[in-house]
């Protein structure tokens, strides 16, 4: 079991490295304004297609769904999921060590994502605001809403699935859809352009994969005491 946990952790850390590398490349391109032509094309195409009843519905729901990237939405959800992991029915429990590790990861990610989001706004070179509906000096890369929603949703979904609280297909689908919906809401409201949103998703994925990998290593039973008992 320890070997399988290490394999899962290695895959997750590898995914984090890939997402981090992609995010760094996107951040560098954004700072150099290399993403502006593609961002503007996608922005113009979206505006041309935002007509009719579907457009009205999107514009109406966007201010609501984007709230999923706010700390006062995702933090209570994460706390509720952590409690559910700790208080799972006996038939779904995978061991006290796993439950504690999972709950710790879920409780950590909201605070970590919130602090990191502020840090990225402050430390990263920022592109010009351009067509975004923002003040001239407002940080725009990466999308904080997209970043925080991805980090919290993916970490929580992974742990909930691994601990048997929900079917993996359900938990992971919801975890993947949530940051996409939040990010699209920001695009519809023109608070961000595509590169900002993709950058937020990549950064959030990197954080979630790192926490999930750490959780896998922490939840696995240690073989030392068991081996000593057998030898004794």
Query: What is the distance between the alpha carbons of residues 31 and 126, in angstroms, rounded to a whole number?
Result: 6
Q: What is the pTM of this model?
A: 0.92
- pLDDT tens profile 63-122: 999 999 999 999 999 999 999 999 987 665 567 888 999 999 999 999 999 999 999 999
Query: Which DSSP symbol is given to 222?
Result: P
Interhelix angle 168-188/144-162, nearest 10 degrees: 170
Q: Who has greater pLDDT, 47 or 112?
A: 112
For residue 202, count other CB atoms closer than 10 A to its CB. 24
**Could you identify the residue written with the tokens 């970043």?**
147
At residue 223, the pLDDT reads 60
- pLDDT tens profile 119-155: 999 999 999 998 898 888 899 999 999 999 999 999 9
């Amino acid at each position: 079991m320890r070997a399988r946990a290490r394999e899962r952790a290695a895959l997750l850390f590898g995914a984090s490295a890939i997402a981090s590398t992609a995010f760094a490349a996107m951040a560098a391109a954004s700072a150099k304004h290399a993403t502006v032509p593609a961002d503007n094309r996608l922005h113009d195409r979206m505006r041309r297609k935002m007509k009719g009843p579907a457009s009205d519905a999107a514009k109406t729901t966007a201010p609501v769904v984007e709230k999923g990237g706010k700390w006062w939405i995702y933090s209570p959800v994460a706390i509720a999921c952590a409690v559910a992991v700790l208080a799972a029915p006996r038939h779904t429990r995978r061991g006290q060590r796993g439950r504690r590790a999972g709950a710790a990861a879920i409780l950590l990610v909201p605070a970590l994502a919130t602090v990191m989001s502020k840090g990225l706004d402050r430390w990263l070179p920022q592109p010009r605001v351009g067509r975004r509906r923002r003040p001239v000096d407002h940080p725009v890369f990466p999308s904080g809403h997209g970043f925080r929603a991805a980090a919290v949703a993916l970490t929580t979904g992974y742990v909930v699935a691994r601990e048997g609280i929900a079917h993996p297909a359900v938990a992971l689908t919801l975890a993947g859809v949530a940051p996409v919906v939040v990010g699209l809401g920001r695009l519809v409201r023109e608070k961000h352009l595509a590169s900002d949103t993709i950058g937020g998703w990549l950064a959030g994925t990197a954080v979630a994969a790192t926490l999930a990998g750490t959780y896998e290593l922490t939840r696995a039973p240690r073989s030392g005491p068991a081996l000593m008992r057998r030898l004794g």
